Amino acid sequence: MFDLKGKVAIITGSTKGIGKAIAIQLCKAGAKVVISSRKHQECVKFSKELIEKGFSAFSIPCHVGKKNEIKNLVQETIKKFNSIDILVSNAATNPAFGPLSNLQDPAFDKIIDVNLKSSIWLINEASPYLKKNKTSSVIIMSSISAFIGTKDIGAYGISKAAEVSLVKHLAVELGSYGIRVNAIAPGLIKTDFSKAIWNNKKTLTKQIETTPLKRIGYPEDISGIVHFLASNASLFITGQLIVADGGETITSVIS
């Protein structure tokens, strides 16, 4: 049920952090993976490492905020592997830190392009190929910032909330082709992306104290969920959001 042998997976933003852990996990399950990020050298380096370990990997650099690069990502994947079964839309950005009252249009546009429109571009480009395989799976990396209020990352949170809506619409649109579309909302995961939070001792201590599982997350806390959603173990799940946050969002001040 969990075997991904022969399946082809594109993972955006897969040279480090959560995306890298996903690539390793999907390789271990037997998938052929396409490693992708903006930096060509990083993509080549990581895919070489995977190949040296006996896995099947290929690198295609792609800035997900650029539609032509997304088109190239899909077309080069087809040239190399002749199929796409699993799409993981993982890359994201957050150039705006501060209240929405200070949000500048260029930063907001960038957030929406990279975090939201990119997923639609990628799925539309790949859907003719996903439709050929009756058990294809699309996974979009959202965040718990989609459904909580914050003072500093509102624009990012809005883009992540829109992704939750996106999976529901796409799940309906693509369901008759057997394509599942789901999202994951990680809590705080120890990567470069969130370094400003976990690198601050006071914030980290508070975070751990208020999280029921009494720890922050690691990329491997997310990669197993992607494996599940990519596999036939989740064939009847679509349009859903899986929250993986150690319980952070279910607590209250009285607990």
Catalytic positions are 156
Cβ of residue 70: shortest distance to ligand NAP, in angstroms? Answer: 9
Which residue intervals of the chain are DSSP H helices?
A: 17-28, 40-52, 67-81, 105-112, 118-130, 154-174, 195-198, 201-210, 219-230
Secondary structure class of 241 (helix, strand, coil) = strand
CA separation for the pair 49, 163 (Å, rounded): 32
Cβ of residue 139: shortest distance to ligand NAP, in angstroms? Answer: 11
CA separation for the pair 74, 51 (Å, rounded): 21
Specify the residue for token string 């003719």.
128
CA separation for the pair 160, 19 (Å, rounded): 16
Secondary structure class of 142 (helix, strand, coil) = coil
CA separation for the pair 236, 162 (Å, rounded): 23
Nearer to ligand NAP, 141 or 155 (CB): 141
Tokens of 66: 């650029």
Nearer to ligand NAP, 148 or 178 (CB): 148
Cβ of residue 42: shortest distance to ligand NAP, in angstroms? Answer: 5
Residues near ligand NAP, by CB under 6 A: 12-19, 37-39, 42, 62-65, 90-93, 114, 141, 143, 186, 188-189, 191-194
Nearer to ligand NAP, 16 or 131 (CB): 16
Secondary structure class of 156 (helix, strand, coil) = helix
Cβ of residue 132: shortest distance to ligand NAP, in angstroms? Answer: 26
Nearer to ligand NAP, 178 or 224 (CB): 224
